Amino acid sequence: MVQLDTGYDGELLLPYKLYQGLALYQWEYPEEYWAVGKTVSGEIIELILAKGQVLIPKWNVALEVFIETFEGNEEFLLGRSFIRKFKVLLDGPGNKVCLVGAPCGKET
């Protein structure tokens, strides 16, 4: 299950092993495009960057997204740049976050 972290301002952060498993290094951006990320504790981490697609079968959409990772990362997060395309429901009682609207230009 992928988690939403509004403190992460990228689109999609993948666990490093998943990045490798999906062979996303075959879709990588040059190092000059890689961003530098800062953790809440102030650590600076260079982020490997690739481009991929997120498929949402319910809406029959394939979103092109920037994917980031770094060696040793185990977090799987959607960030603010991704949810900017959606209406999002914070379902407290259900303990989940739901995308309730199709991305701009698509019907729900």
Size of the residue set binding other proteins (CB under 8 A)? 44
Q: In whole angstroms, what is the distance from residue 67 CA to residue 76 CA?
A: 11
Q: In whole angstroms, what is the distance from residue 41 CA to residue 62 CA?
A: 35
Q: Of 12, 14, 65, 73, which one interacts with other proteins (CB under 8 A)?
A: 73
Neighbours of 20 (CB within 10 A): 13
70: contact with other proteins by CB under 8 A = yes
51: contact with other proteins by CB under 8 A = yes
- Torsion angle, CA of 66/70/38/1, rounded to 10 degrees? 70
Q: In the range 12-31, which residues lie near other proteins by CB under 8 A?
A: 13, 20, 25-31
Q: In whole angstroms, what is the distance from residue 64 CA to residue 50 CA?
A: 11
Q: Of 79, 82, 85, 99, which one interacts with other proteins (CB under 8 A)?
A: 79
List of residues contacting other proteins (CB under 8 A): 3, 5-10, 13, 20, 25-41, 43-47, 49, 51, 64, 66, 68, 70-75, 77, 79
